[in-house]
Chains A and B, each alone.
Chain A
Amino acid sequence: MSAYAYSVLAIIGINVMLAVSLNMITGFCGQFSLGHAAFYGAGAYAAASLAASGLPVVPALLAGIVVAALLGAVVGFASLRLRHDFLAVTTIGVSFLFVGFVRKQAWLGAEMGISRIPPSGLGSEGNALLILACALATIGLSLYVNRSWMGFSFRAVGDDEDAARTVGISVTAYKLAAFTLGTGIAGLAGGLYAYFTQFIVPDSFGFLVSVMLMAMVVIGGTGSTLGVAAAAVILTLLPEFFRFMNDYRLLVFGALLVLVVRFAPGGLAGIGRAAIARARGGGAAPQ
């Protein structure tokens, strides 16, 4: 495989990790977050700056996870007090705040970003395989969480907080757990991205990236791990396959988002379920 193919694979893997981890927060636990790119960026910046100052790969990646998860826990605390709409706007704020802060920090390279990130030592092939392995592990973890008691509690909190509290589920603990887990994975994705590109700038983690990730979750079908992973793969590949689309990437994302929400609110997962039900001869299935 060519270097280009490996780089596409790596980007797919990173987007899958980000979308699936956002789905844990938004899809499972019902906490609307439009600031996922900020945690991705926090992980990337933590790993990159430590790696540039000489830390080996594994501790640098771990540091990325920890920094992102800590930031995620802070936002999780905010989600304990805020209503849904307030949380959406606050997480948008986190996205802007992160980029606005990093841009002005000389020790993080300000506008120029960090460019002296040492190679991971795995080569482009090894990097891509490592990222793919992490993406598969994320999907596996997400499927496992969804079937576990934790996933059950997440869904209970997402459906109706008050009802969940009544049956003895600690809403506080599970909201914080969802945010910490999801943002920790985003931090790992950020660290892997930093090693993969060896060069990061603030704008790679801006609000538009958060919107793109939310688009993957919604188009894939909010709450469905496999649907979201499929959407992440498709939405990453589309502009690669159709070169002319590269210029219209945002136009297509916007249009898909509007059309999916308007005509198939269940996303890919909803369409897939309906198709399976029809194939089994069950007639028209509900969305």
Chain B
Amino acid sequence: MSYYLDLAFNGVVFGCMYALMAVGLTLVYGLLRILHIAHAAVYAFGAYVAVIVANGSGSLALGLAASLAAAALLGMAIYRVLYQPLLAYPPYVAMIASIGLLVLMEDGFRIAFGEQGLTFARNPYPTQLHEFAGLTVNTVQIAIIGASTLCLILLALFTSRTRIGIGWRATVSDPAMAASFGVNAIKVRYLNFAIGSALAALAGALIALLDNFVEPTMGFVVSYKALAVIVLGGLGSLQGTLVASLALGLIESYGTIFVGRFMDRDAIAFLFLIAVLIVRPQGLAWKAA
């Protein structure tokens, strides 16, 4: 029995990580209708900055802070340099540019930091085990669940309680109307990329802690899973995205024992995606996006 509980817990941990990744993608899609595939490069970038700064300064907190800040800046730069000039073209043009950027950045990491990847010099957290209601969990897993819950609650409060947050939501649902009410659409876009990218960097840094390892291609598979998640969530729907993230985490976790003999863990996400799309071409969201 505890084996299945462990699987469920693992599923939730990965679900939280997918949620942190997918929120940024969903927000970009909601605002600009672009499938922001280079989000994975931001995730890997966040992990690299966290490792390098933490090893250089000896402080993990500083590493995390630097990672979030650098990723937020990178996200805004990607919008400014790559996406903004391409908004006049059909959305797939920006998506191709995004794939190009992902390939470019991942190869850049490989050339700059080596194929072997990097590890934290001091990282006791994945081996700190805690007994918890019959489950054995480590500190990083708790941190992933805690941090993602906290971030998503803060995000929900931000978008419902603050002026700029409400302006953001208004811009997502109707850009022209929001602009006529005095919302600065350009500011909203920068904010969007800054927050989404910081969340992706947080996911990257936490996964780097969990595996105690960063490598150039670490974002590759995760990114496409995050894409699968946002499609499942109905593209642009935040609630749908959260449900789909957790569902995918759990399905991967259990799927590995049932279909692991026939296919990779990484392929399960897409099998699930294709199965859902056959039944519901509009995704899992309850109302059509």
In the complex, chain A residues whose CB is within 8 Å of the CB of B91: 84-85
Number of A-B contacts (CB under 8 A): 133
Contact A211 B103 (CB under 8 A): yes
Q: A85-B231, A88-B35, A214-B96 are in contact. Are A251 and B111 (CB under 8 A)?
A: yes
Residue of chain B at shortest CB distance from A210: B99
Shortest beta-carbon distance, B264 to chain A, in Å? 4
- Point out the residue from A104, A214, A250 that lies within 8 Å of B106, measured CB to CB: A250
For the complex, count residues of B whose C-beta is within 8 A of A: 49
- Point out the residue from B82, B103, B281 that lies within 8 Å of A262, measured CB to CB: B82
Shortest beta-carbon distance, B215 to chain A, in Å? 15
Task: Give a binary string over A65-106; 1 marks a CB under 8 Å from any B CB, 0 the rest.
Answer: 000000000000010011111101110111011011101110
- Point out the residue from A86, A207, A250 that lies within 8 Å of B231, measured CB to CB: A86
A60 interface contact, C-beta 8 A: no
A46 interface contact, C-beta 8 A: no
Contact A88 B95 (CB under 8 A): yes
A199 interface contact, C-beta 8 A: no
Interface-side segment among A47-55, A230-238, A252-260, A276-284? A252-260
For the complex, count residues of A whose C-beta is within 8 A of B: 42
- Point out the residue from A218, A247, A251 that lies within 8 Å of B104, measured CB to CB: A251
Tell me, in angstroms, the Cα distance from A253 to B102 when the chains sit together.
11
In the complex, chain B residues whose CB is within 8 Å of the CB of A81: 277, 281
Task: Give a binary string over B210-234; 1 marks a CB under 8 Å from any A CB, 0 the rest.
Answer: 0000000000110010011001000
Contact A265 B89 (CB under 8 A): yes
Contact B274 A257 (CB under 8 A): no
Contact B86 A82 (CB under 8 A): no
Residue of chain B at shortest CB distance from A75: B274
B59-94 contacts to A (CB < 8 Å): 82, 85-86, 89, 91-94
In the complex, chain B residues whose CB is within 8 Å of the CB of A92: 224, 227, 270
Residue of chain B at shortest CB distance from A102: B263
Tell me, in angstroms, the Cα distance from A34 to B277 when the chains sit together.
17
A157 interface contact, C-beta 8 A: no
B100 interface contact, C-beta 8 A: yes
Contact A265 B277 (CB under 8 A): no
A114 interface contact, C-beta 8 A: no
B101 interface contact, C-beta 8 A: yes
Tell me, in angstroms, the Cα distance from A97 to B272 when the chains sit together.
11
Q: A82-B277, A93-B274, A262-B82 are in contact. Are A99 and B267 (CB under 8 A)?
A: yes
B247-289 contacts to A (CB < 8 Å): 260-264, 266-271, 273-274, 277-278, 281, 283
Contact A254 B100 (CB under 8 A): yes
Q: A93-B273, A251-B107, A255-B100 are in contact. Are A101 and B227 (CB under 8 A)?
A: no
In the complex, chain B residues whose CB is within 8 Å of the CB of A247: 111
A185 interface contact, C-beta 8 A: no
A134 interface contact, C-beta 8 A: no
Shortest beta-carbon distance, B279 to chain A, in Å? 10
A215 interface contact, C-beta 8 A: yes
Tell me, in angstroms, the Cα distance from A256 to B99 when the chains sit together.
11
B52 interface contact, C-beta 8 A: no
In the complex, chain A residues whose CB is within 8 Å of the CB of B96: 214, 218, 257, 261
Contact A262 B85 (CB under 8 A): yes
B191 interface contact, C-beta 8 A: no
Contact B270 A93 (CB under 8 A): yes
Tell me, in angstroms, the Cα distance from A84 to B91 when the chains sit together.
10
Contact A214 B263 (CB under 8 A): no
Contact B99 A104 (CB under 8 A): no
Shortest beta-carbon distance, A254 to chain B, in Å? 3
Tell me, in angstroms, the Cα distance from A31 to B30 when the chains sit together.
22
Contact B100 A261 (CB under 8 A): yes
Tell me, in angstroms, the Cα distance from A78 to B33 when the chains sit together.
21
Shortest beta-carbon distance, B67 to chain A, in Å? 23
In the complex, chain B residues whose CB is within 8 Å of the CB of A94: 270, 274
- Determine which residue in A93, A103, A214, A262 has the highest number of CB atoms from chain B within 10 A of its CB, and name it: A93
In the complex, chain A residues whose CB is within 8 Å of the CB of B85: 262
Tell me, in angstroms, the Cα distance from A207 to B227 when the chains sit together.
14
Tell me, in angstroms, the Cα distance from A147 to B25 when the chains sit together.
40
Tell me, in angstroms, the Cα distance from A96 to B111 when the chains sit together.
25
- Point out the residue from A101, A218, A254 that lies within 8 Å of B101, measured CB to CB: A254
Shortest beta-carbon distance, A213 to chain B, in Å? 12
B235 interface contact, C-beta 8 A: yes
Task: Give a binary string over B104-125; 1 marks a CB under 8 Å from any A CB, 0 the rest.
Answer: 1111100100000000000000
- Determine which residue in A34, A250, A254, A256 has the highest number of CB atoms from chain B within 10 A of its CB, and name it: A254
- Determine which residue in B89, B103, B220 has the highest number of CB atoms from chain A within 10 A of its CB, and name it: B103
- Point out the residue from B95, B106, B266 that lies within 8 Å of A96, measured CB to CB: B266
A residues near B (Cβ < 8 Å) are: 32, 34, 78, 81-86, 88-90, 92-94, 96-97, 99-101, 103-105, 207-208, 211, 214-215, 218, 247-248, 250-251, 253-258, 261-262, 265
What would be 7 A-B contacts, judged by CB atoms less than 8 Å apart?
A78-B274, A78-B277, A81-B281, A211-B99, A248-B111, A250-B106, A253-B103
Smallest CB-CB A-B distances: 3 pairs: A100-B267, A254-B104, A257-B100
B residues near A (Cβ < 8 Å) are: 29, 33, 35, 82, 85-86, 89, 91-97, 99-108, 111, 220-221, 224, 227-228, 231, 235, 260-264, 266-271, 273-274, 277-278, 281, 283
